[in-house]
Structure 1
Amino acid sequence: MNYQDLAKLIIDKVGGEKNVKSLTHCATRLRFNLKDDQNTDEQSLKNTSGIMGVVNKGGQYQVIIGSDVGNVYKEIVKQTNISSEREEEKTEDKRSTFAKVIDVITGIFTPILPAITAAGMLKAVLSLLVVFKVLTTESQSYQIMNFMADAAFYFLPILLAASSAQKFKANMFLAMMVGGILLHPNFAAMVTAAKESGAAIQLFGLPISAVSYSSSVIPIILSVWFMSYVEPLADKVSPKAIKFFSKPLITIFIVGTVSLVVLGPIGYMISDAISNGITALESVSPWIVPLLVGTFTPLLVATGTHYGLVPIGINNRMTTGYDTVIYPGMLASNVSQGAAAIGVGIKTKDSSVKQLAFSAGLTGLFGITEPALYGVNLRYKTPLYAAMIGGAAGGLFMGIFRTRNFSGGSPGLLTLPSYIGDNTLSFFYYACIGAAISIIVTFIATLILYKDPVAEETSENVSSDSTTTKNTKVNFSGASIISPLQGTLHNLKQVDDGMFSEEILGQGVAIEPSEGKVVSPVNGTISAVFDSKHAIGITSDDGIELLIHVGIDTVQLNGEGYEYSVEKDQKVQIGDKLIEFDLKGIKAKGFKTITPVVITNSAELGDILIANEGAITFSEEIIKVMK
């Protein structure tokens, strides 16, 4: 599917353009604000090729695309008017306060991350040049590169003013003007003079705190939020004949004054309090926060709330010059996600999973974890646990040694130079060691915990004297698979079990049985039987490996209601009875009886054609395997 088709499908499945209030994107996700998140077809989105997953958390409807998200976003913008400024319908926002706050933070900080990342990496390169004596701090080249890197940090209030205005629906250029007021050189000179002389700064008798707002975060956000209320009032009270002049005049005068007198100092105090709180926590137990961040960041990423940590890390760097809690912990977590996926890639025997795991794992090591998280780790669970263990280990190490991050960026191996600063490589070494600990611990834990789904089920349920036969070499020009049950044929995606619906075990169909009998769909050999008798494996004479799994989670019945009619290694013909089961009794116990019929060696075969959904009998063809 191309970007154009994918964009069109996504808009349709999120309820159409009229259901979208706003749209932005980060490194891997489309982030929708929807008017009604119940008016979506989430299952269709999840089942669409090119979409890794869907998350409805933190006040946003997030469609995970991966590294191609920018191209899909551009196509959506081309096809719709979603990105343009327009009057939106007033709808009741039923989200929780927490969801609203996370949505605001995400919307403000996501657009400015490229500038912050560029500045951070430029700072890291400059630090390397100084450490290896390519440049000196007195050289003009150093000074020019330094102010180039400092630009995004120093003028951070103006960048935040622009993104905040978009989020709060205020005029972007007036908001940037407020940022300019807080940063104006004349005001900075007045602040310096006031600090030196102890004299007060006043505006019509109103006291203005002698505070510098360069590199600050909270003051400008509060100011633009305040502007979003002042601007409509200014529009209302301005005479129509002079509104073009009076509206911006009233807005800037009120917002500028309140920002300098009230909101700026309040924001500064909040920033200072956060910084002092982190410092106090460090003095008691410096390892606690990096340990927690390293452990639980995957869960925050899964819910889309990890951007709530970003402002804390930025605030720490802006107030103290470095961050020792958020970014080191996220570094440990991100590389662990990548290592877990690579561990799956090494251990799995499924070629399609192997390819996905290696690709997503490398991306995770470099700081973009969504492909690894959604494509592999959450999918199989045990790699996620391994990543949390490794993230905790790396976060603990970096917390104990108070590893300092000086310039941010997307936490991963590519941003390790952002730990170079204070004219030393010590923190860079600590970050490298912490990342290595995370990778090694996660990798080992993954190799221990992860098992391929088929192998895992077999090891838990096959009797001690039963083992699956070795794969038979597939060599045929084509083969048919007859229905092993009578009932209703469904697409495999209708099965409420990710192992089957996501085709992790292989391609196939599902049948809702109307009779409690399973017959052989092929001529072949019984290759696997189970103590619970709820499933059976068959290898056809053509080398097709089939798994018939009667019901979902029915292994919990421990064989109650099931009876085998064949034994392992027994030869069978099409139509031979394999299993009898108590259809009504299984349903009465609350279990679903829909039965997946899966080709577990799908990757080794040619095209697999599936019959249309509907009523099916024992004698009808359900799958056609082509050469």
Structure 2
Amino acid sequence: MKYKDSAKQIFEEVGGTENISSVNHCMTRLRFVLKDEANINDQQIKNIPGVMGVMKKSGQYQIIMGNDVANYYKELQKLGNFSDSTSSGGKKKNFFEAVVDVISGCMSPLIPALLGGGMIKVLLILLPMMGLLNESSQTYQVLSFFGDAPFYFLPIMLAYTASQKFNVTPMLAVTVAGIMLHPEFVGMVAEGNPIQFFGAPVTLASYGSSVIPIIIMVWAMKYIEAFFDKVIPNVIKSFTKPLLIILIAGFLALVVVGPLGTFAGEGLSSIILWIQSKAGWLALGIMAAFMPLIVMTGMHWAFAPIFLVASPATPDVLILPAMLASNVAQGAAALAVSLKTKDKKIKQVAGAAGISALVAGVTEPALYGVTLKYKKPLYAAMISGGICGIYIGIVGLKSFAFVVPSIVALPQFIGGDGNANILHAIIVAIASIVITFILTWIFGIDEEESTEKETMTPVSSEQAGSSNPKKIYAPLEGNVLPLEEVKDEAFSSKMMGDGVAIVPINDEVVAPFDGVVTTVFPTKHAIGLTSESGIELLIHVGLDTVQLNGQHFEALVEDGQSIKKGEPLLKVDLPKVQEAGYDITTPLIVTNTASYIDVVAKDVAEVKKEETILYVV
């Protein structure tokens, strides 16, 4: 409740929706762009529980919240439809990156509904086979539209998620999707007679289960809504704006944008299927081998027009079959690591991740927590996936339902003439498990010896006031600066915690101790770490560098990853950051300072990488 209550108070104190142009957050602060700051009472905001301080900088009203900032931000988002754009642009994405980002961002929230519908389709295959359900019964028919509903009404769900992505009024976007799926329009399309709307020809296209048309349409609505916001007087805006948006957007949806999106989706499917028909076994081998990397980048959603319509009439012969080989390979690799490792913690994590991938097709725990971390198991899974993918291409394996492939979901491959297809799927699953397990066992995993003894080496009480303090080593080389001299009140006042700052002269940030990565901020300018002994450390590269939106920064690790002292964490192009006008002073903050007696900086003017810089008593 503390996040909700404080967020509500902050929302009210900064003027609510009418005064907030945009809001985002960095590692420690809520960053508002406000229309008017004149009437805001800074002191009242500082008195709100959880607020550590207030700053006005770079055209933003910044409220310092500490490590829990993301939780306050989530509650703020519930109070208004805010943009999260920052005041200065970051690295511009190319067209392909932007398309993948949009499709992935819009599709991700819909996965539970799609998986639920897909599993109902699996039940409709299994229950009649087991004699538990008659295909002519009303129960079967009702279950059929239960399973079909998430797919047929996909444009309506996408309209909502895309409206969040493009900052469009959600219910207006949903209304336009409703126009495209209206039963009267569907009936007119089914009749096949020419349709005209204000004299313009309407393409006879069906938008049920489509992806691209509605995403394009909601993107266009962003500009339509902005235009009418500017030109319509406030006194009549409440009723004329929605009227005009529905009329204009509905017209464009049926006459212009919808047909273009349909043709684009058909074109994408045709191109991929053409490549598959020409390359055959090679295409499936490559797809299955590189599926983990494709999933990591979100590129698999670019193929949504193909695999989302998987059905007995139009089975998927590319993505879902390739994912079968890849998913079970990830699970087998994780299980092999679990059995081979001597580390009890890794054994537990890898075992659970392997079961998740094999049984449910959820590969993220195995990929991010095991195979990618140790690399060799990932190579084993990719090699196995490639071999099985070649077999898939040769036998022409097909998926007849959209379900994330796994051992439990194998019935999605039941269909076609006879039992050949499901037998091939079983062969692929078994082969992928066996080959991956053997390769992972042969390749092995690199388990590094713990350096805890070095980390805990005692120093004199004269140095740190204790006979056994914990050390933090310098993640950067450069000049040492007392925290009080940092030109940012949030750090200099130590409201975030005690520590020290380094003005770096090298471009690589390395791990200051053995531990785990708690948070890599999306803009890569800051990283949160937790040592094996429980020290929580924030490394904030530069001041206000969140505004760069990741430009000139490269993250070399990810959330949840275990790290060893000296392991590279981030790379930063310091000259470019300075050219952009930013201070490169890098604070190192022990954010759980209150848990310790003292945090003492080593009394030096300069420090080299991996030399002791802080003692935690």
Question: Could you tell me the TM-score, scaled by structure 2's length?
Answer: 0.63
User: C-alpha separation between the residues in 2 aligned to 1:209 and 1:203?
Assistant: 10
Q: Are the aligned partners of 1:332 and 1:391 in contact in 2 as well (CA < 8 Å)?
A: yes
> How many residues are aligned here?
448
Q: What amino acid maps onto 2:333 in structure 1? A: A
SS at match of 1:413: coil
Q: Which position in structure 2 is the counterpart of 1:351?
A: 344
SS at match of 1:150: helix
Q: Which position in structure 2 is the counterpart of 1:16?
A: 29
**Could you say what the CA RMSD is over the residues aligned between the two structures, in angstroms?**
4.4
Q: 1:449 to 1:502 in 2, by over 3 A?
A: farther
Q: Deviations over 1:204-252 (max 9, x none)?
A: 2211122222222211111111111111222333233322221111111
User: C-alpha separation between the residues in 2 aligned to 1:550 and 1:258?
Assistant: 57
Q: 1:491 to 1:341 in 2, by over 3 A?
A: farther
Q: Where in structure 2 are the equivalents of 1:265-284 lying within 5 Å?
A: 265-284=259-278
User: C-alpha separation between the residues in 2 aligned to 1:493 and 1:310?
Assistant: 45
Q: Deviations over 1:532-557 (max 9, x none)?
A: xxxxxxxxxxxxxxxxx99999xxxx
- Is residue 180 of structure 2 the alignment partner of residue 182 of structure 1? yes
Q: Which position in structure 2 is the counterpart of 1:91?
A: 87
User: C-alpha separation between the residues in 1 aligned to 2:408 and 2:221?
Assistant: 39
Q: Are the aligned partners of 2:312 and 2:401 in contact in 1 as well (CA < 8 Å)?
A: no
User: C-alpha separation between the residues in 1 aligned to 2:243 and 2:516?
Assistant: 61
Q: Which position in structure 2 is the counterpart of 1:444?
A: 438
Q: Deviations over 1:158-179 (max 9, x none)?
A: 1111111111111211111111
SS at match of 1:112: helix
Q: Which position in structure 1 is the counterpart of 2:107?
A: 109
Q: Are the aligned partners of 1:121 and 1:417 in contact in 2 as well (CA < 8 Å)?
A: no
Q: What amino acid maps onto 1:273 in structure 2? A: G
Q: Deviations over 1:112-156 (max 9, x none)?
A: 111111111100110112333433332212111111111111111
Query: 319, 324, 327: which one pairs with 2:320?
Result: 327
Q: Which position in structure 2 is the counterpart of 1:491?
A: 472
User: C-alpha separation between the residues in 2 aligned to 1:492 and 1:403?
Assistant: 54
What displacement does 1:253 show?
A: 0.9
User: C-alpha separation between the residues in 2 aligned to 1:102 and 1:352?
Assistant: 35
Q: Are the aligned partners of 2:315 and 2:401 in contact in 1 as well (CA < 8 Å)?
A: yes
Q: Where in structure 2 are the equivalents of 1:300-339 lying within 5 Å?
A: 300-302=294-296, 304-309=297-302, 311-314=304-307, 317=310, 321-339=314-332
SS at match of 1:110: helix
Query: 332, 351, 364: which one pairs with 2:357?
Result: 364
SS at match of 2:263: helix
What displacement does 1:345 show?
A: 1.3
Q: 1:101 to 1:501 in 2, by over 3 A?
A: farther
SS at match of 2:31: helix
Task: Return 5+ residue gaps in structure 2 as ranges.
Answer: 8-23, 35-57, 59-65, 451-455, 465-469, 477-508, 518-530, 535-563, 569-595, 604-613
- Is residue 209 of structure 2 the alignment partner of residue 215 of structure 1? yes
User: C-alpha separation between the residues in 2 aligned to 1:451 and 1:499?
Assistant: 24
Query: 270, 293, 298: which one pairs with 1:299?
Result: 293
Q: Are the aligned partners of 2:82 and 2:167 in contact in 1 as well (CA < 8 Å)?
A: no
Q: Deviations over 1:477-530 (max 9, x none)?
A: xxx96679xx998437959878973489x9699xxxxxxxxxxxxxxxxxxxxx
User: C-alpha separation between the residues in 2 aligned to 1:253 and 1:209?
Assistant: 17
SS at match of 2:316: coil
Q: Are the aligned partners of 1:361 and 1:372 in contact in 2 as well (CA < 8 Å)?
A: yes
What displacement does 1:426 show?
A: 3.9
Q: 1:422 to 1:169 in 2, by over 3 A?
A: farther
- Is residue 236 of structure 2 the alignment partner of residue 236 of structure 1? no
Q: 1:497 to 1:432 in 2, by over 3 A?
A: farther
Q: Deviations over 1:314-370 (max 9, x none)?
A: 455389622211122122222212211211111112222222221222223232222
Q: 1:78 to 1:237 in 2, by over 3 A?
A: closer
Q: Are the aligned partners of 1:327 and 1:411 in contact in 2 as well (CA < 8 Å)?
A: yes
Q: 1:77 to 1:452 in 2, by over 3 A?
A: same
What displacement does 1:254 show?
A: 0.9
Question: Could you tell me the TM-score, scaled by structure 1's length?
Answer: 0.62
Q: Which position in structure 2 is the counterpart of 1:466?
A: none
Q: Which position in structure 2 is the counterpart of 1:537?
A: none
User: C-alpha separation between the residues in 1 aligned to 2:386 and 2:30?
Assistant: 42
Q: Deviations over 1:1-31 (max 9, x none)?
A: xx99xxx9xx98634232899xxxxxxxxxx
User: C-alpha separation between the residues in 1 aligned to 2:179 and 2:161?
Assistant: 17
Q: Which position in structure 2 is the counterpart of 1:378?
A: 372
Q: Which position in structure 1 is the counterpart of 2:334?
A: 341
SS at match of 1:111: helix
Q: 1:398 to 1:171 in 2, by over 3 A?
A: same
What displacement does 1:444 show?
A: 0.5
Q: Which position in structure 1 is the counterpart of 2:424?
A: 430
What displacement does 1:443 show?
A: 0.7
Q: Which position in structure 1 is the counterpart of 2:393?
A: 399
User: C-alpha separation between the residues in 1 aligned to 2:446 and 2:257?
Assistant: 56
Q: Deviations over 1:28-55 (max 9, x none)?
A: xxxxxxxx9xxxxxxx99xx9xxxxxxx
Q: Which position in structure 1 is the counterpart of 2:497?
A: none
Q: What amino acid maps onto 2:338 in structure 1? A: G
Q: Which position in structure 2 is the counterpart of 1:147?
A: 145
Q: What amino acid maps onto 1:311 in structure 2? A: A
Q: 1:379 to 1:285 in 2, by over 3 A?
A: same
SS at match of 2:290: helix
Q: Which position in structure 1 is the counterpart of 2:514?
A: 501
Q: Are the aligned partners of 1:297 and 1:306 in contact in 2 as well (CA < 8 Å)?
A: no
Q: 1:442 to 1:246 in 2, by over 3 A?
A: same
What displacement does 1:612 show?
A: 7.7
SS at match of 1:441: helix
Q: Deviations over 1:247-271 (max 9, x none)?
A: 1111111111111111111111112
Q: 1:105 to 1:419 in 2, by over 3 A?
A: same
User: C-alpha separation between the residues in 1 aligned to 2:179 and 2:288?
Assistant: 39
What displacement does 1:615 show?
A: 6.2
Q: 1:141 to 1:82 in 2, by over 3 A?
A: closer
User: C-alpha separation between the residues in 2 aligned to 1:89 and 1:279?
Assistant: 38
Percent identity, aligned pairs only? 37
User: C-alpha separation between the residues in 2 aligned to 1:357 and 1:508?
Assistant: 23
Q: Deviations over 1:172-214 (max 9, x none)?
A: 11111111111112112211222xxxx4211122111222222
